[in-house]
Structure formats: structure tokens, C-alpha cells
């Protein structure tokens, strides 16, 4: 399924013009309707199909290429550590969920595009690497498996 825009439509850019790129973005994450938090990085929003090759008997000019099963990579989310505990509660207490929703937000916290995923389950949580002499922000990350894109 294709990702949804806010109004369900995408406006084509004017002829000869390029669409505006978006500035600083965040991702709002909900699991089964419960907000888990906002994240600054999100990877794994993709789908790839296997390609099966079939060599037809008696026809040596080419090999048929057929689309096979869809593959969905693990979704990785990253953010600064916060006092919110909904993420860890879901990870440790309630991995049963029917839907994961990731909403791309602009700098004014307005939704731009929403991605839905079926049957999400937590795979890995990583806490911050702490060093006394570092001024880096404490970051946490979460990896989520799922069973594909949904509308």
C-alpha cells in the first residue's frame, strides 16, 4: 500500500518547478492508538519485492522475471532520552499490538504523511551510551518488526 498524505491526496508541483523540501522533521509514533512518543530519526520505511527468474523451455532469447514476495525491513527509531515511559512499557509489558502508525510531522507539529504497519512487535531497545566527558545528548533507539504496510 502507498503511504497516505494528510488529506489523502498529493498536489502535483507546477510544471517546471520542484517541490519544496521539508526542514527539521519529527516522527510521531503510535501503537494500537497509544502515543509512544516523538522520534528524530526513522529508518526502514521501505518495501522490496523478491524477483524470481524463470527460464522458459525452448525460448533461449530471454528469462522471464516475475515479482515474488514482499520484504519489509526492521523499522529503527531514535530519539533523545525523555522521562516518558510508554516506549519501555510497550517493549517490556505489552508487545501485542495490531497496528503501528508513524506520522511524519513538520516544524509546526502538523502531520505531513502517515505510514501504517500491521502487527508490530519490539525487537531491540538500546539505551544511551554514557560518558562523563561527553557533551552529546543521551539517545535511545528502538527496532520494530512488522508484517507489512497497511492503509
Q: Give the distance, in angstroms, between the CA of residue 1 and the centroid of all CA atoms in the same chain.
A: 13
Q: Is 133 left (phi over 0), alpha (psi -120 to 50) or beta?
A: alpha
Task: Please give the torsion angle defined by the CA atoms of residues 66, 2, 16 and 107, in that order, rounded to the nearest 10 degrees.
Answer: -140
Alpha helix ranges (H) inside the chain:
86-92
3-state SS record for 92-128: HCCCCCCEEEEEEECCCCCEEEEEEEECCEEEEEECC
38-51: pLDDT as tens digits: 899 999 999 999 99
Residue ranges of the chain with pLDDT lower than 50?
A: 7-10, 18, 21-22
Supply the pLDDT for residue 42: 93
Q: Considering the domain delimited by 21-46+73-150, tell me its CATH architecture.
A: Roll (2.30)
Sole residue written with cell 509512544: 36
What is the pTM assigned to this prediction?
Answer: 0.75
Supply the pLDDT for residue 23: 54
Domain ranges of the chain: 21-46+73-150
Amino acid at each position: 500500500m502507498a503511504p497516505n498524505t494528510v488529506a489523502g491526496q498529493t498536489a502535483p508541483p507546477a510544471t517546471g518547478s520542484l517541490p519544496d523540501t521539508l526542514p527539521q522533521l519529527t516522527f510521531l509514533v503510535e501503537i494500537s492508538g497509544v502515543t509512544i512518543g516523538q522520534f528524530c530519526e526513522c529508518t526502514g520505511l521501505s518495501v522490496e519485492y523478491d524477483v524470481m527468474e524463470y527460464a522458459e523451455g525452448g525460448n533461449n532469447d530471454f528469462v522471464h522475471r516475475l515479482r515474488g514476495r514482499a520484504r519489509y525491513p526492521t523499522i529503527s527509531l531514535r530519539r533523545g532520552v525523555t522521562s516518558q515511559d510508554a516506549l519501555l512499557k510497550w517493549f517490556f509489558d505489552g508487545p501485542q499490538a495490531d497496528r503501528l502508525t508513524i506520522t511524519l510531522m513538520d516544524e509546526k507539529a502538523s502531520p505531513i504523511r502517515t505510514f501504517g504497519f500491521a502487527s508490530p512487535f519490539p525487537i531491540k531497545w538500546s539505551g544511551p551510551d554514557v560518558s562523563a566527558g561527553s557533551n552529546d545528548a543521551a539517545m535511545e533507539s528502538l527496532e520494530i518488526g512488522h508484517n507489512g504496510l497497511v492503509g
